[in-house]
Structure 1
Amino acid sequence: MDNVQGKLIIIGGAVDKGSFTEGTYDLNVANNLNFFETGILKRIIKESKYQENSRIEVITTASIIPLEVGAEYVKAFEYLNAKNVGLLHIGRREQTTDPDVLKRIQAADVVMFTGGDQLRLTSILGGTKLHDIILDKYQNEEFIYAGTSAGAAAASNNMIYQGSSQEALLKGEVKITSGLSLIQNVIIDTHFVQRGRMGRLFQAVVGNPRILGIGLGEDTGLLITNDSNMEAIGSGLVILVDGRSIMDTNLTQVELGKPISINNMIVHVMSMFDTYDLKNHKMEIHNSQYFSALDIPVELNDNSIEGLE
């Protein structure tokens, strides 16, 4: 997309709220939202059009426990002095045509998609009028799409929806489908460091090296502006997997279920305040150990070299 006016905030999540791909449902949501209160939710408010007065709609479509999850997000936003927070439990496709729901989405400055099952999210919202409104607002307005866990994974045009961490570098173990397509040429995985999902992202990228793999750790996210400028936020790590320099692989030669080999894949690790230019594929480390030495010329003294002989 060109001249994108909106912002994208994708978050690695804390614990899963009901994804069938994980099989563990942690219902203690309140304890798992604590990390938002000191960082990422506050940043969402700060980046929004009217800050504490912005209209925020929390959408729980991905979750199988929407009432509990939604209530905790509303509580967390209000704790941070957000004064205009709504909650939408959209669990069926027919609800996406409800005039009141569409009116609320049209009026929102921020939509916040909770965690859960990203395939549930895309299968309910994909191709609907509600989806079209969100895409249009992101393209043309000072609007924020924020998503954690499933909400983050679904933001790109390519979406990982299934694949075990332990067997992710076996051909065919990672399942990919279409996401909500707010951002192109990336693929996003969440709970990344804690659940050992490096192999999942490797397999996703080797199948199409044009796309950049983004692995979001827990308590970690990316703020993406102008559809290309990415800043790491939160306390954890963002892993970027760049496949454009791959020299060789056995991907097409091995049978399903067999290990995949990859030669010359590039990996970057980002932490808070680091930035990455998605268009030019350049990363800058905010607190580089070499920053103070960048403008100091290298001087070699031949005499000193001779003295070492």
Structure 2
Amino acid sequence: MNTKGKLIIIGGAVDKGSFTEASFDKDVSKNMNFFEKGIIKRIIEESKHKENSRIEVITTASKIPREVGPEYVKAFQYLNASNVDVLHIERREQASDEEVLNRIKAADVVMFTGGDQLRLSSILGGSKLHDIILDKYKNEHFIYAGTSAGAAAASNNMIYQGSSHEALLKGEVKITSGLGLIDDVIIDTHFVQRGRIGRLFQAVVGNPKVLGIGLGEDTGLLITHNTKMEAIGSGLVILVDGREIKDTNLTQVELGQPISINHLVTHVLSIHDTFDLSTFKMHIHSSQYI
């Protein structure tokens, strides 16, 4: 069945340091500027009623939800989308609250902030709210948008832990189940800035059916019908395709030992480039050969 909703996943912040620097908590308003004229605008344009769409910002992943939530509202309002509010869902029972559920049912867009993706999966996973989001995403003109943790949690498989510099040591990358809006991909964020390509390599070599998606900061993917992906924002999207892996030592080495991989394919997308998940074909928007 064709998925009617759209998925907008974002790698996190930009050169302002949002979600990456220790000073983020102290300077939230300055660190939210990455959205205002690029990706936030695209979210509004793709939504059902444009500037009049009902948007709910969900701060469950964040450790500072009362500071972060209003900044997202400001970013949307700056672009004339004023029908925006914040849902602070901090305990699992809140995800079954009737008022909360009614707000999600009425929403055209849900925007999940950054933070800890395990908070999203453990608090919202399997809840009535989760069921409503999945149903709306499948059957309605509805947008799930998520940045950082909100992006990482969107897929069925979710990276929740693993250091960048030791990512290609067996067992270093920890994976669990996400919110399950899209299958057969695994998403990592702050990708270029935090040098996380090794995390995707390990995730993909463990199951080459899964396409690794690495999102740079101030960069995202617009995914329609769960098949067509378009790069948006100012940075890079790196895709890791393991279907043509020829050899690896993954099952032969002990935990903590380096992993070898022969013939792992990567693609690099920038703004307006597309990739089709049904055919695994990439189109470069500004190709030098056209």
What's the TM-score once normalised by structure 2's chain length?
0.97
Relative to structure 1, the CA distance from residue 184 to residue 25 in structure 2 (aligned partners, 3 Å threshold; closer, same or farther) is: farther
Unaligned runs of 5+ in 2: none
CA-CA distance at 1:146 after TM superposition: 0.1
* Contact 2:18–2:31 (CA under 8 A) maintained in structure 1: no
Q: How far 1:38 moved relative to its partner?
A: 1.5
SS of aligned partner of 2:123: helix
Between 24-33 and 217-226, report the one with greater CA deviation. Answer: 24-33
CA contact (8 A) 1:16 1:115 kept: no
Determine helix, strand or coil for the equivalent of 1:194.
coil
1:31-87: CA deviation from partner (whole Å, max 9, x where unpaired): 222121120000000000000000000000000100001010011111110020011
Q: Deviations over 1:124-172 (max 9, x none)?
A: 0000000000000000000000000000000000000000001000000
Which residue is equivalent to 2:289?
Answer: 290
1:79-118 → structure 2 map (5 Å cutoff): 79-118=78-117
Q: Matches of 1:25 and 1:109 in 2, distance apart? A: 33
Q: 2:177 maps to what in 1?
A: 178
Kindly report which structure 2 residues correspond to 1:80-159, keeping only aligned pairs within 5 A, or say none: 80-159=79-158
Q: Where in structure 1 are there 5+ consecutive unaligned residues? A: 292-309
Matched position secondary structure for 1:256: coil
Superposition RMSD in Å: 1.1
Query: How far apart in 2 are the matches of 1:117 and 1:141?
Result: 28
Q: What is the one-letter code of the residue matched to 1:232?
A: A
Q: AA paired with 1:186?
A: V
User: How does 1:56-67 map onto structure 2 within 5 Å?
Assistant: 56-67=55-66
After TM superposition, the runs of 4+ consecutive aligned structure 1 residues lying more than 4 A away are: 22-25
Distance in 2 (CA, whole Å) between partners of 1:105 and 1:210 is: 33
Q: Residue in 2 aligned with 1:160?
A: 159
- Indicate the residue corresponding to 1:195 in structure 2: 194
Q: Identity of paired residues, percent?
A: 77
Other structure's SS at 2:37 match: helix
Does the 8 Å contact 1:274/1:284 carry over to 2? yes
Q: In structure 1, what is the equivalent of residue 48 of structure 2?
A: 49
Please state if 1:254 is matched with 2:253.
yes
Code of the residue aligned with 1:85 in structure 2: it is V
Residues 154 and 168 of structure 1, relative CA distance in 2, 3 Å threshold: same
Q: Secondary structure at the match of 1:191?
A: coil
Match of 2:233 in 1: 234
Partner of 2:277 in structure 1?
A: 278
Give the number of aligned pairs.
286
Secondary structure of residue in 2 paired with 1:124: helix
Q: Which amino acid aligns with 1:275?
A: T
* Cα distance in 1 between the residues matched to 2:125 and 2:80: 32
Query: What amino acid is the match of 1:164?
Result: S
Match of 1:301 in 2: none
Deviations 1:213-243 (A, max 9, x none): 0000000000000110000000000000000
One-letter amino acid matched to 2:256: G
Q: CA deviation at 1:30?
A: 1.8
Counterpart secondary structure, 2:36: helix
- Contact kept, 8 Å, 2:69 with 2:86, in 1: the verdict is yes
Q: Secondary structure at the match of 2:29?
A: helix
With structure 1 as the length reference, what TM-score do the two structures score?
A: 0.91
- 1:299 aligned partner: none
Cα shift at 1:25: 6.5
Would you say the 8 A contact 2:18–2:28 is kept in 1?
Answer: no
Q: CA deviation at 1:26?
A: 2.3
AA in 1 matched with 2:10: I
Letter in 2 for 1:71: P
Maintained 8 Å contact 1:56/1:85: yes
Q: Please state whether the residue corresponding to 2:190 is helix, strand or coil.
A: coil
Tell me the residue number matched to 2:5. Answer: 6
- Distance in 1, matches of 2:247 and 2:195, equals 24
